[in-house]
Structure 1
Amino acid sequence: MAALSALIVMPNIPGTDVHFLVPYAIEAPGPTFNTLGSVEGKEVVEIEGAPTDPTNGKLNMTTVAVSSGITLPQAIAEGLWSSNTMVPIEQIFPQDVSPEEQREVNSADFAASEASATAAAMHYLDRPLAVEVAQVVPDGPAADQLEQGDVILAIDNQQVSSPKQVKEAVADQKPGQKLALKVKRKDQEQTIDVTLGSHPNNDAAFLGIVMAQVPADGMKVTYNLKDIGGPSAGLIFSLAVVDKLDPADITGGAFVAGTGTINEEGKVGPIGGIRHKIEASKDAGAEVFLAPKGNCAEIDAKTSEGIEVAAVGSLEEAIDALSAHQRGEAMPTCG
């Protein structure tokens, strides 16, 4: 299933009467943002604690604009004369979730995509990674012992560098058993014993933290885009981090746009609204669009007309595709 797109949620269309609204929303091409550029005086992708290299070209993340509050005449007009997409409103705002709660979910997804983008870039560049406590579950087993920002260095004297290793160490235990966690807190190392609890949904051991994989060398990556939700900016964010840290010129001066979720290992996943994102990229002047392989079924010749679309399944494949473009060679496509 495709992940929710990076979204720009528009206000309800003005001048509408709630009694004449239809249960649909309109998806349309949204704005694109150059992740190698600046916004409100700050770099979109800001790197501290490590030397960076000059970049060329553009790496634009893409969005889908969503409007709700649609009347029946507007819906009919959209169906007859517009290339926008009408989708059931529950696809954007599930019935059991308020719009405000859904925005919070979208924002959390966007933040998670930022963390995964950083980790994927570090993996590609072969830079060290560490496990950071992103959140401590209130009233959970670790609530009084671990703090947000703690870096977990080892568990029971076994070094860890990924959330997966921590989860595996916890899964090997039973509720009530203790784990010795070696953590780094404000530049001070200490060992903390945590008694595991029971997971709220099953009988498995439960530590009660949310983790993120971060650079282990003190480098910090900050993403300075606001009011955007969803996880689909991951690929382009990761490319921007690599471009800034790697002396190689990823874009070759080209205007590149794209989309795709990314996990910590650099695997690229499909997203929603691919046609609108390609359309927005063409309107912005992009030469190349990086699309997840999982979206190929939605990309036909008409959609890709006027722009080169490369189908990629990983961060490495995306970088290889752009390298091929620089050399004048064919990139992998959906055909």
Structure 2
Amino acid sequence: MLASLLMLIALLCAGALLPVPYAEMSPGPTYNTLGSHKGECVLQISEHKGCATTGGHLNMTTVQVTGSEYKMNLIEAVYGWLAHDDVVVPHSTLYPDDKTPDEVNQENAEEFTQSQESAKVAALRQLGKRITSHVIVGVVQRDKPAQGRLHAGDVIKEVDGSAVRAPEDVAKLITKHKPGEKVTFSIIPAKDAAAAEKKNQEATARKSVTVTTEKAEDGRAIVGIQAGVDYTFPLKIDIKLADVGGPSAGLMFALGIVDKLSTGDLTGGKFIAGTGTIDEKGTVGPIGGIQMKTIGARDAGAEYFLTPQENCAAAASDKPDGLTLVKVHTLKGAVKALKQIREGDTAALPKCTKS
């Protein structure tokens, strides 16, 4: 018995010291997009109603993960596997081997910023507001021909005299050339475009820039830029929420903006949480860690959870008691679901099922 006890103690000590290649996910905090965080309204809009005072919630949800440098031991991994509220995943799932932790964090920050822009566009379009879009230089690659000639934020109006209406037009027009040939861009410099936008005016002064193409690995002609889209909004919208990353807050940001710019109250005083990516057209996309988010939402007090339809089956397979999972695929559908909740017509809600 003594030998067995000593063996058990030795194994427990080994388990406490033995690192394993796993990381842990657990329910994170939720944030009311209608309310405040650290003394500031989460959504600050030039034509807004201020922070929520009706008691209603539209909470975005998060997942907490162990840090990239954290070394989980075997005992912690086993406990995580057995715990209902935690999920243990391979370390490479959260921190891919081909990326540094800084690169992962940067990607998460960029996705969070993009989700905010998409939410603004989708919300304002839902409300029928006029939005002006521009094709811009999104990224200038280092040591490529465009470096020093074009700059991030430059508005691209034409390429070789042909009008540019979408980001893909830029690549099509450039690749019509052979490597070594010149491409002429008609642009509005980023600083001029920003100054005009600040004055709520349309920038008109154009500049011609010529760049010599080079040969890409696949033989195409390139100049070393990635085109993107920028928008001019009819009002100023700022989202004040730091220390959050990834794209999954898009839907709840969009709903918060719609609420603040609409008459009345979208929630009817109910505690509603949710998650989901969103694009400029208002399409809601799936996210990761859905079970962690439903648990976090219910722990915070949510009664209803807006769930991307692609996540519905997984969410319904382990639904927290007292939480109604509402299936959504578009911003328009989410607004309709809120109306049903507000009016007490919950029988008509599109609810998530296990299949």
TM beyond 0.5: yes
Q: Which residue in 2 is equivalent to 1:331? A: 349
Residues 1:202 and 1:248: Cα distance change in structure 2 (over 3 Å) = farther
Residues 1:143 and 1:45: Cα distance change in structure 2 (over 3 Å) = farther
SS in 2 for 1:122: helix
Q: Which residue in 1 is equivalent to 2:21? A: 23
Name the aligned partner's letter for residue 21 of structure 1: P
* 1:287 equivalent in alignment to 2:303: yes
* 1:47 equivalent in alignment to 2:50: no
Shift of 1:117: 1.9
Name the aligned partner's letter for residue 147 of structure 2: A
Q: Which residue in 1 is equivalent to 2:34? A: 36
Q: Percent identity?
A: 37
Q: Which residue in 1 is equivalent to 2:123? A: 121
Stretch moving more, 287-296 or 112-121: 112-121
Structure 1 CA distance for aligned equivalents of residues 352 and 273 of structure 2: 16
Name the aligned partner's letter for residue 246 of structure 1: S
Contact 2:33 2:59 in 1 (8 A): yes
The structure with the larger Rg is 2
Q: Which residue in 2 is equivalent to 1:270? A: 286
* 1:58 equivalent in alignment to 2:57: yes
Stretch moving more, 276-285 or 18-27: 18-27
SS in 2 for 1:256: strand
Structure 1 CA distance for aligned equivalents of residues 295 and 230 of structure 2: 34
What are the within-5 Å matches in structure 2 for residues 159-174 of structure 1? 160=165, 162-164=166-168, 166=170
Residues 1:80 and 1:18: Cα distance change in structure 2 (over 3 Å) = closer
Structure 2 CA distance for aligned equivalents of residues 125 and 170 of structure 1: 37
Structure 2 CA distance for aligned equivalents of residues 199 and 325 of structure 1: 57
Residues paired across the two proteins, number: 317
Where is the strand percentage greater, Structure 1 or Structure 2? 1
Q: Which residue in 2 is equivalent to 1:72? A: 74
* 1:303 equivalent in alignment to 2:305: no
Shift of 1:267: 1.3
CA-to-partner distance for each residue in 1:206-248, whole Å, 9 max, x for gaps? Answer: 4544555444246343322222222111111122222223335
Residues 1:258 and 1:217: Cα distance change in structure 2 (over 3 Å) = closer
* 1:93 equivalent in alignment to 2:95: yes
Structure 1 CA distance for aligned equivalents of residues 215 and 332 of structure 2: 36
CA-to-partner distance for each residue in 1:67-94, whole Å, 9 max, x for gaps? Answer: 2422111222223344311111110111
Match of 2:238 among 204, 207, 222: 222
Structure 2 CA distance for aligned equivalents of residues 219 and 153 of structure 1: 24
Structure 2 CA distance for aligned equivalents of residues 164 and 320 of structure 1: 34
* 1:137 equivalent in alignment to 2:141: yes
CA-to-partner distance for each residue in 1:251-289, whole Å, 9 max, x for gaps? Answer: 233222111111222211111110110010011111221
Name the aligned partner's letter for residue 148 of structure 1: A
SS in 1 for 2:245: coil
TM-score, normalised to structure 2, is 0.77
Name the aligned partner's letter for residue 85 of structure 2: S
Structure 2 CA distance for aligned equivalents of residues 259 and 294 of structure 1: 12
Structure 1 CA distance for aligned equivalents of residues 257 and 214 of structure 2: 38
Q: Which residue in 2 is equivalent to 1:178? A: 183
Name the aligned partner's letter for residue 130 of structure 1: S
Structure 2 unaligned blocks of 5 or more: 1-13, 197-202
Structure 1 CA distance for aligned equivalents of residues 64 and 35 of structure 2: 21
Structure 1 unaligned blocks of 5 or more: 1-15
Structure 1 CA distance for aligned equivalents of residues 26 and 276 of structure 2: 18
Shift of 1:321: 1.2
Structure 2 CA distance for aligned equivalents of residues 260 and 294 of structure 1: 10
What's the RMSD between the two structures over aligned residues?
3.0
Stretch moving more, 266-275 or 69-78: 69-78
CA-to-partner distance for each residue in 1:29-67, whole Å, 9 max, x for gaps? Answer: 00111122222333222334xx23455522111111112
